[in-house]
């Protein structure tokens, strides 16, 4: 099978690997499109975490089963299903969770082995490109877990990469007043096209004005901006993992009764909800770009050095059609 293999750091190579075989309860999933995620970029930039090279990265995929017509999306996480966290339905937070492209070979290949139970059928009529947004949109739905957004509430979004743009889509679809920011003008324009108001920088958000602030960047400067622009009693949710530790104004948080919350990944329910929302509410896809899997090294390079206008690149293996 054709695969994009990560060799550590910014070294990637296209290789022909032995065909994969499915174990008990598993299937060989034929990849049609695999999205490059911010976390794949972390590995490329030298913060691979638990990833050990050589490894096929990627955890986002739309694909099909051999001999079948319909498309599926694959839920890429698996909890241990034995601990208390998993029993509460939070397998994304399981200390022993496994993720495609991290603990096991990922989706930047012509085939990937997944549990049969991980597959969710893509509704008829939905394009593979839209279906490819299921996983990152599930991340956004995870961000709003336990929150019932009401029409007219103000939601601010810091960072208009994939997660930020999908947060704009989600909050706009809930009828919220969404204000987004990103240093890149072209990305602000996409947020504008998706129904947000935009400002040049997070410091331009009105102070104490938002019910919710989504920090999809996650560095000290954006944590601080978010805590400044959220209303008393409001909620700041950090989903960007830009910085592992740093200083936040806890005193102001306490005095204003602000909730500061971290969010990682999603439940199976969030994943299904994401696919259902994409089926129900049309989404702007001008920020997606397809590239052949064999051009994966160039795609990573373009995203890392911002030489592409695409916000998200979807890789397609050789000889595959939708
Ligand atoms: Zn992802
Ligand atoms: Zn568990």
The CATH number of whichever domain residue 164 belongs to comes to 3.40.50.720
For ligand 2, the distance from its centroid to the CA atom of residue 1, given in whole angstroms, is 32
Mean predicted confidence (pLDDT) in 1-7:
97
Both 154 and 240 in one domain: the answer is yes
For ligand 2, the distance from its centroid to the CA atom of residue 184, given in whole angstroms, is 39
For ligand 2, the distance from its centroid to the CA atom of residue 144, given in whole angstroms, is 22
Please check whether residue 173 lies inside any domain of the structure.
Answer: yes
For ligand 2, the distance from its centroid to the CA atom of residue 98, given in whole angstroms, is 10
pLDDT tens digit sequence for 162-174: 999 999 999 999 9
Which ligand sits nearest to residue 39's alpha carbon? 1
What's the pLDDT at 203? 96
For ligand 2, the distance from its centroid to the CA atom of residue 99, given in whole angstroms, is 13
For ligand 2, the distance from its centroid to the CA atom of residue 267, given in whole angstroms, is 12
For ligand 1, the distance from its centroid to the CA atom of residue 149, given in whole angstroms, is 23
Q: What is the pTM of this model?
A: 0.97
Residue 222 has pLDDT above 90, yes or no: yes
Mean predicted confidence (pLDDT) in 279-296:
98
Which ligand sits nearest to residue 133's alpha carbon? 1
Please check whether residue 151 lies inside any domain of the structure.
Answer: yes
Please check whether residue 132 lies inside any domain of the structure.
Answer: yes
Both 293 and 252 in one domain: the answer is no
Query: In terms of DSSP H, where are the helices of the chain?
Result: 38-44, 84-87, 128-131, 134-143, 162-173, 185-193, 220-229, 250-255, 268-280, 296-304
- Interatomic CA distance for residues 170 and 139, integer angstroms: 11
Please check whether residue 25 lies inside any domain of the structure.
Answer: yes
From 241, 262, 283, give the residue that closes a domain: 262
H or E stretch covering 15: strand 12-16
For ligand 1, the distance from its centroid to the CA atom of residue 41, given in whole angstroms, is 10
Please check whether residue 322 lies inside any domain of the structure.
Answer: no
Which ligand sits nearest to residue 96's alpha carbon? 2
pLDDT tens digit sequence for 76-109: 999 999 999 999 999 999 999 999 999 999 999 9
Average pLDDT over the chain, rounded to an integer: 97
For ligand 2, the distance from its centroid to the CA atom of residue 92, given in whole angstroms, is 8
Both 23 and 129 in one domain: the answer is yes
Mean predicted confidence (pLDDT) in 252-264:
97
What's the pLDDT at 173? 98
Tally of domains in the chain:
2
Both 48 and 15 in one domain: the answer is yes
For ligand 2, the distance from its centroid to the CA atom of residue 93, given in whole angstroms, is 8
For ligand 1, the distance from its centroid to the CA atom of residue 136, given in whole angstroms, is 5
- Interatomic CA distance for residues 73 and 33, integer angstroms: 10
Mean predicted confidence (pLDDT) in 42-59:
94
Domain with 37, as residue range(s), is 2-138+266-316
Both 257 and 274 in one domain: the answer is no
Both 36 and 115 in one domain: the answer is yes
Both 24 and 96 in one domain: the answer is yes
Both 275 and 246 in one domain: the answer is no
Mean predicted confidence (pLDDT) in 27-50:
94
Whichever domain contains 15, its CATH number is 3.90.180.10
Which ligand sits nearest to residue 92's alpha carbon? 2
Residue 9 has pLDDT above 90, yes or no: yes
Please check whether residue 202 lies inside any domain of the structure.
Answer: yes
Which ligand sits nearest to residue 79's alpha carbon? 2
Backbone angles phi, psi at 112, to 5 degrees: -145, 145
pLDDT band at 72 (very low <50, low <70, confident <90, very high): very high
Both 122 and 196 in one domain: the answer is no
Both 156 and 107 in one domain: the answer is no
What's the pLDDT at 35? 98
From 262, 285, 307, give the residue that closes a domain: 262
Indicate the DSSP class of residue 133.
T
Q: In the numeric block, which tokens belong to residue 259? A: 């909730």
Both 213 and 199 in one domain: the answer is yes
Both 19 and 72 in one domain: the answer is yes
The set of residues, in sequence order, having a beta carbon less than 8 Å from that of 89 and lying 6+ positions away, is 267, 269
From 262, 284, 308, give the residue that closes a domain: 262
For ligand 1, the distance from its centroid to the CA atom of residue 37, given in whole angstroms, is 4
Residue 48 has pLDDT above 90, yes or no: no
Please check whether residue 321 lies inside any domain of the structure.
Answer: no
What's the pLDDT at 179? 98
For ligand 1, the distance from its centroid to the CA atom of residue 146, given in whole angstroms, is 21
For ligand 1, the distance from its centroid to the CA atom of residue 135, given in whole angstroms, is 6
């Amino acid at each position: 099978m054709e695969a994009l293999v990560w060799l550590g750091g910014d070294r990637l190579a296209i290789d022909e690997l032995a065909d994969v075989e499915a174990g008990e309860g598993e299937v060989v999933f034929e990849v049609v499109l695999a999205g490059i995620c911010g976390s794949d970029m972390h590995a490329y930039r030298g913060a691979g975490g638990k990833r050990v090279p050589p490894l096929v990265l990627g955890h986002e995929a739309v694909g099909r089963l051999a001999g079948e017509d319909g498309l599926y999306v694959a839920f890429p996480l698996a909890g241990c299903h034995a601990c208390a966290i998993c029993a509460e339905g939070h397998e994304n937070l399981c200390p022993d969770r496994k993720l495609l492209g991290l603990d096991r070979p990922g989706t930047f290949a012509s085939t990937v082995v997944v549990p049969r139970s991980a597959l969710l059928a893509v509704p008829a009529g939905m394009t593979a490109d839209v279906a490819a947004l299921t996983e990152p949109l599930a991340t956004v739905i995870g961000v709003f877990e336990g929150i019932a957004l009401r029409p007219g509430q103000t939601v601010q979004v810091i960072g208009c990469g994939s997660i930020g743009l999908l947060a704009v889509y989600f909050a706009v679809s809930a009828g919220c007043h969404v204000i987004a920011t990103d240093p890149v003008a072209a990305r602000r324009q996409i947020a504008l096209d998706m129904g947000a108001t935009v400002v040049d920088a997070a410091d331009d958000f009105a102070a104490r004005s938002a019910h919710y602030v989504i920090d999809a960047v996650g560095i000290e400067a954006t944590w601080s901006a978010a805590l400044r622009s959220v209303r008393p009693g409001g909620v700041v949710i950090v989903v960007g993992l830009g910085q592992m530790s740093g200083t936040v104004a806890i005193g102001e948080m306490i005095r204003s009764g602000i909730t500061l919350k971290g969010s990682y990944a999603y439940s199976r329910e969030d994943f299904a909800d994401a696919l259902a929302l994409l089926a129900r509410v049309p989404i702007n896809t001008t920020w997606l770009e397809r590239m052949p899997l064999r051009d994966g090294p160039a795609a990573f390079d373009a995203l890392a050095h911002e030489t592409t206008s695409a916000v998200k690149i979807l890789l397609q293996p050789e000889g595959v059609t939708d």
